[in-house]
Amino acid sequence: MPSVGVVLGAGGIVGAAYHGGVLTALAEAGFDARHADLLVGTSAGSGVAASLRAGFPPIDLAARNLGRPISAEAAAIVEITGGPPIIDFRPQPFSRAPLPSSPKLLLKSIRHPTKALVGLLPTGTISNAVIGERITALYGDRSWPDEPLWVCAVDLDTGDRVVFGRGDVQAPIGVAIQASSSIPGFFQPVEHGGRRYVDGGVHSPTNADLLADAGCDIVVIVSPMSATRLAHGALLPTARPLHARRLAHEVEQIRRAGTQVLTFQPMPGDVAAMGRNPMDARRRPATTEAALASARTRLADPELAERLALLRAASSS
């Protein structure tokens, strides 16, 4: 049986909607991401990955985002968690003059501009606790899913990537997902075990390099924050080309190990639907529709036949 790894990247509310479209298209094509041997999630992707490990059928992800009927299996999970979490995005006033959230990180991460910037930003004031609460409710008395799930976050004081579920740090699933989703300078860092954690996207929007030596036959990567080359020319100033270069480097690391890779990045139509604010919930339906259409088109490419056959074999066994 082929071994499959699935990487679900960061991207906020809009990125989660993109995941929904792509994962539904894959399910239609014969691959159920719940059957992945290893799921790696970062930020928005961590929440989607946790939902998959809790049993939410990927075939229902797009329908849920679009307000269409879903299966009884999916409805039972929605009944536990309710609708998408509602976050009060109004910033809370600072109790004192805002200071850099992590001067140590600023000094230690000169060679990693994103981490240096995070150290310079003031500490976020908005709570994203509702995200962790929903995941905790979904898992009930279980502290972690039975099947392998790696959740990526960053230690705010050291700048180190921390992978919950791999053994780096022990934490309940709700805490891990909340930490992975804590956008620096926006959401409050998540404190656990005397450490402060922020969004895993600070290290990498996908953290796909974690699967370079995982021994998988094929890795599927869904990367909402990058874009295909075709989309780059139509973009206003954005970080998407930078994220695409980072993704290409991570993909090369995986391929050097002899692993096949299937990537999904937003195409021009996806980028237009997603807009420029990843937290704009109004973009959810249009993003899901666009991602579903573009992923269906990509999966119809005869050049993907061998990789798709591996995925189908993994789901059918």
Angstrom distance (rounded) from CA 186 to CA 199: 10
Mean pLDDT to the nearest integer, 30-34: 98
Q: For residue range 168-203, what is the model confidence (pLDDT) as tens digits?
A: 999 999 999 999 999 998 899 999 999 999 999 999
Q: What's the Cα-to-Cα distance from 142 to each of 50, 148, 171, 174, 190, rounded to whole Å?
A: 12, 14, 12, 10, 20
Q: For residue range 200-222, what is the model confidence (pLDDT) as tens digits?
A: 999 999 999 999 999 999 999 99
* Choice between 90 and 277, residue whose per-residue pLDDT is larger: 277
Asked if 308 and 29 touch (Cβ cutoff 8 Å), the reply is yes
Nearest to 279 by CA among 49, 87, 96: 87
Residue 195's beta-bridge partner residues? 192
Instruction: Specify the pLDDT at position 116.
Output: 73
- Cα Rg of the chain, angstroms: 18
pLDDT higher than 80, residue 226? yes
Q: How many CB atoms lie within 10 A of CB 18?
A: 37
pLDDT higher than 50, residue 7? yes
Residue 202: partners with Cβ closer than 8 Å, 6 or more residues away: 114, 115, 118, 154, 184
pLDDT higher than 80, residue 144? yes
Residue 246: partners with Cβ closer than 8 Å, 6 or more residues away: 204, 205, 206, 226
Residue 307: partners with Cβ closer than 8 Å, 6 or more residues away: 218, 260, 262
pLDDT higher than 60, residue 235? no
Instruction: Specify the pLDDT at position 279.
Output: 93
Instruction: Specify the pLDDT at position 281.
Output: 93
Lowest mean pLDDT among 11-20, 44-53, 64-73, 83-92: 83-92
3-state secondary structure 226-281: CCCHHHHCCCCCCCHHHHHHHHHHHHHHHHHCCCEEEEECCCHHHHHHHCCCCCCH
For the chain, give the mean pLDDT: 91
pLDDT higher than 60, residue 244? yes
Instruction: Specify the pLDDT at position 106.
Output: 67
Phi and psi at residue 264, in whole multiples of 5°? -130, 120
Q: What's the Cα-to-Cα distance from 118 to each of 152, 172, 201, 204, 310, rounded to whole Å?
A: 16, 25, 11, 13, 40
Instruction: Work out the pLDDT band at 98, boundaries 50, 70, 90.
Output: low
Angstrom distance (rounded) from CA 191 to CA 169: 12
Q: For residue range 21-31, what is the model confidence (pLDDT) as tens digits?
A: 999 999 999 99
Asked if 275 and 240 touch (Cβ cutoff 8 Å), the reply is no
Residue 106: partners with Cβ closer than 8 Å, 6 or more residues away: 100, 116, 119, 120
Instruction: Specify the pLDDT at position 122.
Output: 81
pLDDT higher than 50, residue 95? no
Angstrom distance (rounded) from CA 226 to CA 245: 8
Instruction: Specify the pLDDT at position 87.
Output: 76
Angstrom distance (rounded) from CA 154 to CA 291: 28
Mean pLDDT is highest, among 77-81, 115-119, 275-279, 291-295, for: 291-295
